[in-house]
Amino acid sequence: MSGEAPASTRTKPGRKAAKVEAPSTLTVGFVLVPDFPLMAYTAAIEPLRAANTLSACRLYDWWHAAPGGGVVRASNGVTILPDVEVGATARDADWIFVCAGGNPAEFDDPALSAWLRDLARRGVTIGGISGGPYILARAGLLDGRRCTLHWEHVPAFEERYPSIEVVRSLFEIHGDRITCSGGIAALDLMLNLIERDHGAGLAAGVSDWFLHNQIREGLSPQRMDLRERFRVRDPRLLRVLGAMEANLETPLPRATLANLARVSVRQLERLFHDLLGQGLHRHYLNLRLDRAHQLGRESSLSRSEIATATGFASSGELTRAERRRRSQAAASD
């Protein structure tokens, strides 16, 4: 390959080359909450590094902070040493992303909340990754905003913050708030931001760099389609499965579900046994128990509140259902 400049960029004799201004550097702060998900953090920061490398410009700079200072440990045990203290005003930032995992409902740091509010007042774009939107909501930074977060945190978040609109998307850019569901979705978010700021060519180059052959839009779904999750294609059963997942707090009667499938209750039961290997009631009950377990792990709701949110008349009824499932699982081993 010749090192000669393309004809369109050569300077004609006697004419000075036009001065090309280097793009300004955008500074990104990452606030890592203990037990943060390493994959989501890496998927967010690595595209910035790649953009710098491929453009041969310092398009992005970044720093890290952590509540309480000192090293911060990811959920897999990897540790990172922050270089900025929470509350510091000496370091500038254009964007700040709070990256959290584990059980963000139980994390409460007034100093971090106050710092994030102060940064927002100064015009910094504030974002949350995976469970990070939980931290933003606690600080009052998502009031009147649309947001997303990892699907595992959504039920507890909606119980805690019913007035905040949650969209089950990969990421949401809503003015000066950015929220991301985490995982590999953080890569798609950053690719979209790189494209917005520096063009589709660079974003495509970064995507290729990471063997990511499709840049997904923010509104793409987080989870696999029901067809893929359950390996079924029957449209009648798929309609019922979708209705079940959308109605866990007030379970739908079998007759209502059969009407959705446009079959009799007996035919619907046969579909469940033939295609899913278990009855309609057992499948619905397992969905509710799984949600109850998730709320117990991801929220600070009481047992009675969890029972109500998953369609059980009382915490005692929930406990008995959990015991029966454990007994049945042990008997089948």
Q: Identify the CATH number of the domain in which residue 199 sits.
A: 3.40.50.880
What's the CATH number where 235 sits? 1.10.10.60
> Is 245 domain-assigned?
yes
pLDDT, averaged across the chain: 88
DSSP character at residue 65: E
Residue 230 binned pLDDT confidence (cut-offs 50, 70, 90): confident
* pLDDT confidence tier of residue 1, bands split at 50, 70 and 90: very low
| Per-residue confidence (pLDDT) for residue 10, from 0 to 100 | 42
Same domain membership, residue 252 and residue 144:
no
Q: State the pLDDT at residue 89.
A: 65
Residue 3 lies in a domain: no
Q: What is the pLDDT of residue 98?
A: 97
Mean pLDDT of 37-60: 96
Contacts of 312 (CB under 8 A, 6+ apart): 288, 292, 318, 321
Greatest mean pLDDT range, 20-24, 47-51, 315-319: 47-51
Answer yes or no: are the C-beta atoms of 96 and 127 closer than 8 Å: yes
Of the residues 209, 244, 271, which one is the last residue of a structural domain? 209
**pTM for the predicted model, two decimal places:** 0.75
Residue 215 lies in a domain: no
Are residues 58 and 95 part of one domain?
yes
- Answer yes or no: are the C-beta atoms of 309 and 249 closer than 8 Å: yes
Alpha-carbon span 182 to 103, nearest angstrom: 14
Domain count, the chain: 2
pLDDT in tens, 156-198: 898 889 999 999 899 999 889 999 999 999 999 999 999 999 9
Determine the structural domain holding residue 271 and report its residue range.
226-332
Same domain flag for 152 and 42: yes
State the pLDDT confidence band at 269, using cuts at 50, 70 and 90: very high
Residues 149 and 258 in one domain: no
**Domain limit, last residue, from 209, 236, 256:** 209
The pLDDT score that the predictor gives to residue 9 is 38
Q: Are residues 175 and 128 in the same domain?
A: yes
Q: Which of 177, 209, 241 is the last residue of a domain?
A: 209
pLDDT in tens, 113-166: 999 999 999 999 999 999 999 999 999 999 989 999 998 888 889 888 999 999
Alpha-carbon gap, residue 200 to 215, rounded angstroms: 10
Residue-wise pLDDT for 49-92, tens only, equals 999 999 999 999 999 999 988 899 999 999 999 999 898 765 68
pLDDT in tens, 197-219: 999 999 999 999 999 988 888 77
CB 139, CB 186: distance < 8 Å: no
- Residues 110 and 196 occupy one common structural domain: yes
Same domain, yes or no: 246 and 166: no
pLDDT score of 6 more than 80: no
- Give the closest residue to 127 by CA, choosing from 145, 109, 111, 114: 145
From the number of C-beta atoms within 10 Å of its C-beta (0-12, 13-18, 19+), residue 214 rates as exposed
Q: Residues of the chain with pLDDT > 90: what percent?
A: 65
Same domain, 282 and 148: no
Exposure string of 235-271, with b = 16+ CB inside 10 Å and e = fewer, is: ebbbebbeebeebbeebbeeeebbebbebeeeebbeb
What's the CA gap between 187 and 210, in Å, rounded? 9
pLDDT score for 311:
92
